[in-house]
Structure 1
Amino acid sequence: MLLLIPYLILWTLWNVYFRKIIKAGLEYVGNNYQETIYKIPPSNSIKLKINGKCVLLISGGTNWVTLRVNHGPRQKVFKIRLLNDPGEVEIINDSKLFSINVIIRRST
């Protein structure tokens, strides 16, 4: 029981800090933005053209995706990614069981 108390305190602090990170990330594009939601089935991918500031927020069965920006190396991303490179982004769902939702906020 005594060991459970520090675990609960750390878990609470992690949740508070993580929410602040997500909130600040969503404010990255500013007040004028266009929001689009994509659902990616298991073992599939989508390609998007981006230009300017962009935020990718991942939710669903798993919070992990693999990104390729401008045909570069693959990058594993957890939950949120901020982009400011013009070009093409490929979002790959590596999960074999779960589909994911990707919310994309682009500055206008």
Structure 2
Amino acid sequence: MQIYITDYLTLNVIQSFQLFALILIIPLPILSYLWFRYYNIIITEGKKYVGEKYTEEEILLLPSSSKKVKISGKTVIIVNGVNAWITIRVNGGPKQKVFKIRLLNSSGELELINESKVFQLKVILRRSA
């Protein structure tokens, strides 16, 4: 029985592809588990930032809209919705992008901007009392 070089090359290509696929697939469950575990810890601890006495306000931002609110002291911004990005501006300063959660410790005016053209956002503001 003769084995040709093309058979070896084909076998090597298949084996290397299988190894490559295995290297890509194995970390996926591990990384997913770690992401969900630490994501919940970050959100939970972020909510505790303002302390035990706080006021909570829910704001619904329609697409391409903004809202200004007064803040003083510690504030937590939590973004819920399909698109978890929001743009904020503190005291008329530069725009800042926020993903899911932002901790602030300032006084003045906070502008919440939904730059999405399609999705509405639900923003939860927790302010220390």
Question: TM-score under structure 2 normalisation?
Answer: 0.81
1:65 to 64, 70, 86: 86
2:118 to 97, 103, 108: 97
Aligned-residue CA RMSD (Å): 1.0
Structure number with bigger Rg: 2
Q: Flag the structure with higher strand content.
A: 1
Q: Secondary structure at the match of 2:39?
A: helix
CA offsets per residue over residues 38-69 of structure 1, 9 Å max, x none?
Answer: 00000000001001111000001210000100
Percent of aligned pairs with the same amino acid? 53
- Does residue 74 (structure 1) correspond to residue 108 (structure 2)? The answer is no
1:47 to 63, 68, 72: 68
2:49 to 15, 25, 28: 28
CA offsets per residue over residues 70-92 of structure 1, 9 Å max, x none?
Answer: 10000010000111110001000
Q: Distance in 1 between matches of 2:70 and 2:88?
A: 13
Structure 2 unpaired stretches of 5+: 1-20
Question: TM-score under structure 1 normalisation?
Answer: 0.96
Aligned length: 108
Q: Flag the structure with higher helix content.
A: 2
Q: Secondary structure at the match of 1:22?
A: helix
Q: Pick 1 or 2: higher relative contact order, CA cutoff 8 A, min separation 6.
A: 1
Structure 1 unpaired stretches of 5+: none
